[in-house]
Chain A
Amino acid sequence: MKKNPSQDSSRQSPSDFPIKTGAEIIVETLIEQGADTIFGYPGGVVLPLFDRLYDAPIRFIIPRHEQGGTHMADGYARASGKVGVIIVTSGPGACNLTTGIANAMMDSVPIVALTGQVRTELIGNDAFQEADTTGITRPITKHNMIVKDVKDLQQMIREAFYIAKTGRPGPVLIDIPVDIEVAKCQLQPLKEISLPGYKPPQKGHLRQIKMAAQAIDKSDKPVLYAGGGVIAADAAKELHSFAQKANLPVTTTLLGLGSYDQSRPESLDMLGMHGTAYANFAVQECDLLIAVGARFDDRVTGKVKTFAPNAKIIHIDIDPSSISKNVAVNIPVVGDAKFILAELAKEVKHKERKEWFDKIADWKRRYPLRYDTRSAGLKPQYVIEQLCEAAKSEAIVVTGVGQHQMWTAQFYKHSKPRHFITSGGLGTMGFGLPAAIGAQVARPDALVIAIDGDCSFNMTLTEISTAVQYELPIKVCIINNGYMGMVRQWQELFYNKRYSKTHIDNPEFAVVAQALGAVGIAVEKKSEVKSAIAKMLAEKKPCIVDFKVEREENVWPMVAAGKSLHEMDGLDIFESMA
């Protein structure tokens, strides 16, 4: 009843704004903001708040560790497009959030984190479970605040949601001393949020859009380069229409996977360090690069000085500070990608560009993604291809960080936004399992598959029991090579095969899974892969499949650090396989 911000508050009676405790205000405001699901872990200074949550109409998921909880909130937000919410206690609870918050910050994921804090008068006294939470999280949040007066509490929570989900999304943290939770004040009417220092751009400058359209019409060799911002802006449809109308080849970043249907002929798949040769060649040779919701990350550009050397650059982004940060931009368009892409589609003309597309087709023919399919051994790429074959584009695929992540980016064909969830910017090992749990919480009926590495999985595998407790039928496929594979690959290539500390002795993951109440399957042979996947997909319980793959497979192609994008290693290996 109080959900409509435009509602005239003068029509509401005073009984709509009764006096409540801080804890009650928090719960009511969370519900008002649409937080029907919350992740969190209780503790001393959040007891008054958890008492209010006892019978609140909110679905509450308790992770086994607060880091897992933040990744769950992150996976929940990415799968649903809603704000992920996490509540934890002070000190260690808050400190354990940091990896997850930094991860959400780097990948622009909307999260609201509420942390308990010691009593106001104890702050600064090194009280039990005290940590300077706002100090610790300042550089890894979009914004953070500490509540000093219960009268500010309700508006701060509303502002936190507003800041988290608007503009370039990101995590917002509110630190709440326990005395604020029990202090009382009147509820406040919901009014439009106005922050003098925060005015996210709503649309985009029409003159800049026209300029961009003219440059596109002129271009003979354009490339459209889409990032996670397209998905955050829910602009995949607009991206598609724009690319069709203008007739553009499309490459995406790791986080942009799913923003464009990879089964289409104009898709160049992923670019960058482990991108496809045809995407990287096209970027290096294009005369116009149209970046949308991407930030020219060093894993994308390779050596910045020689990145897209012949190209004029159009950069569409909602964050003005992203523009010309790493690469000088010719035509910046600041604003909402959904709006700008729709406008661009109206402005641009269709252009044939036969020579350019022929050249791209030739690169695609000569340098497709390859691995040794004739090998009798269990190849990681084969497992991922088979998973893609069996689950198709319906599955929400979540990964950890490392080789398995790159193979999933390469060999799983993504076609829908919010169906590929991965830790891009921060590169957080251990992200996969908890993020998959969060995605399954958000999408109870969807097929959620985590493709994880053995070491990545080892970091947060305790969360299996969370999946078991809440009966979340996630599937986890471990690409188990017994190494921190990506680090081992670098050691092989750049450190003379001295595999320094990149091996750990793993437990039998299938047995661990069973002990934690999930289904566990171990696969050692190529011939067992298809039946194991079929069994996994039929399983109603959380199911962990441990694929013991060839140990020293590498991710190709690869642009070594400091090299230009077209200087890829591994292409000769492709040719020998052809």
Chain B
Amino acid sequence: MKHIISALVQNKPGVLAHVAGMFAARAFNIDSLAVGRTDDPALSRMTIVVVGDDKVVEQVRKQLAKVIDVVKVQDFSGREVIARDLMLICVHIPPEKRPEILALVEMFKAKVVDIGQRFVMVEVVGPEDKIEAFVEACRPYGVKNLARTGTVAMGRFDRQEVADNE
């Protein structure tokens, strides 16, 4: 089972190596890992998708918290989250198939970001299953290559929090 864990880490050299190394050393299975700066220049956020049962995820959470440069760990298991991936995908586009593919792009609320003689580059944003579905839909035309960010996620506001804000 997949779990999304979010870790606030210090924005220092070597932190990614510490975290990635810990995952390898403890034989944890990572599905994806996305890192980026936050509004605080001293901090970065890592979003990690881990495969494993509850016991594994508990260990992941604790071992992450144990890494000195990791400031805070949040486990989104059992919580409603907004989770998004971003993908750039190059699809083979023979002239006669253009309308089909562009319809597909439209259908997925994706965006054409570049176009060449034989290929089109499409940007897709959304939950992981949407991204997967788009890849599958493009396969018959021929996928040249693709690049994905891995999942980033945030917990949904609970009702009380929304009420407080209103």
Q: Which residues of A come within 8 Å of B, CB atoms? A: 134-135, 138-139, 142-143, 145-146, 148, 163, 195-198, 319-321, 323-325
A325–B66 CA distance with the chains assembled, in angstroms = 14
Given contacts A142-B68, A321-B66, A324-B58, could you give 19 more A-B pairs where the C-beta distance is less than 8 Å? A134-B14, A134-B17, A138-B17, A138-B21, A139-B24, A146-B13, A146-B14, A148-B13, A163-B68, A195-B68, A196-B10, A196-B71, A197-B69, A319-B66, A320-B62, A320-B65, A321-B59, A324-B55, A325-B59
B133 close to chain A: CB less than 8 A: no
A324–B59 CA distance with the chains assembled, in angstroms = 8
* Known A321-B59, A324-B55: A135·B17 in contact at CB below 8 Å: yes
Residues in B with CB closer than 8 Å to A198 are 68
* Known A139-B22, A139-B25, A324-B55: A197·B68 in contact at CB below 8 Å: yes
Which residues in chain B, 18-76, are within 8 Å of chain A measured between CB atoms?
A: 18, 21-22, 24-25, 55, 58-59, 62-63, 65-71
Residues in A with CB closer than 8 Å to B21 are 138-139
Residues in B with CB closer than 8 Å to A138 are 17-18, 21
- Separation in Å of the B52 CB from the closest CB of chain A? 14
Residues in A with CB closer than 8 Å to B10 are 196-197
Contact present for A197 and B9 (CB under 8 Å)? yes
Residues in B with CB closer than 8 Å to A146 are 13-14
- Separation in Å of the A139 CB from the closest CB of chain B? 4
Sorted nearest first, the 5 A-B pairs with minimum C-beta distance are A321-B62, A139-B25, A143-B68, A197-B71, A138-B21
Which residue of chain A has the shortest Cβ distance to B64 in the bound complex? A321
A324–B58 CA distance with the chains assembled, in angstroms = 9
Residues in A with CB closer than 8 Å to B68 are 142-143, 163, 195, 197-198
* Known A145-B14, A197-B9: A321·B25 in contact at CB below 8 Å: no
Among A139, A148, A196, which residue has the most Cβ atoms of chain B within 10 A?
A196
Residues in B with CB closer than 8 Å to A163 are 68
Contact present for A321 and B9 (CB under 8 Å)? no
Residues in B with CB closer than 8 Å to A134 are 14, 17
A142–B22 CA distance with the chains assembled, in angstroms = 11
Which residue of chain B has the shortest Cβ distance to A134 in the bound complex? B14
- Separation in Å of the B91 CB from the closest CB of chain A? 38
A325–B58 CA distance with the chains assembled, in angstroms = 9
Query: What are 8 A-B interface contacts by the 8 Å CB criterion?
Result: A138-B17, A139-B25, A142-B68, A197-B9, A197-B69, A320-B62, A320-B65, A324-B58
- Separation in Å of the A205 CB from the closest CB of chain B? 16
Residues in B with CB closer than 8 Å to A321 are 59, 62-63, 65-66
Residues in A with CB closer than 8 Å to B66 are 319-321
Which residue of chain A has the shortest Cβ distance to B20 in the bound complex? A138
A145–B14 CA distance with the chains assembled, in angstroms = 8
Residues in B with CB closer than 8 Å to A142 are 68
